[in-house]
Amino acid sequence: MEVFNIDPTTLACLLGMVAGVVELIKRAFDKDWRAVAIIFGAGLVGTLSALALGIAPLVGAVVGLAASGYITIAQNIGY
């Protein structure tokens, strides 16, 4: 993504995070509270892990939500 001056790792994290947040919003509107709790939990675990490792909490939240987003992407393409 040289056009936008974004390195591939950042792009991968952003893609996963957006997928995770979109899924969280969809599930919240569907009142699927189990899925909402799981996605929220992924973000929370990422945040808490980042704090324990001395990383910025926002980075941890992004990585946690990205992990949830990757699962959503994989399910949507059939893996």
Round to whole Å and give the CA distance between 43 and 30: 20
pLDDT digits (tens, 9 = 90+) for 3-55: 778 888 888 889 999 999 999 999 999 999 999 999 999 999 999 999 999 99
Return the closest-CA partner of residue 66 out of 37, 45, 35: 45
The whole-number pLDDT of residue 78 equals 80
The whole-number pLDDT of residue 1 equals 52
The whole-number pLDDT of residue 79 equals 66
Which pTM does this prediction carry? Answer: 0.83
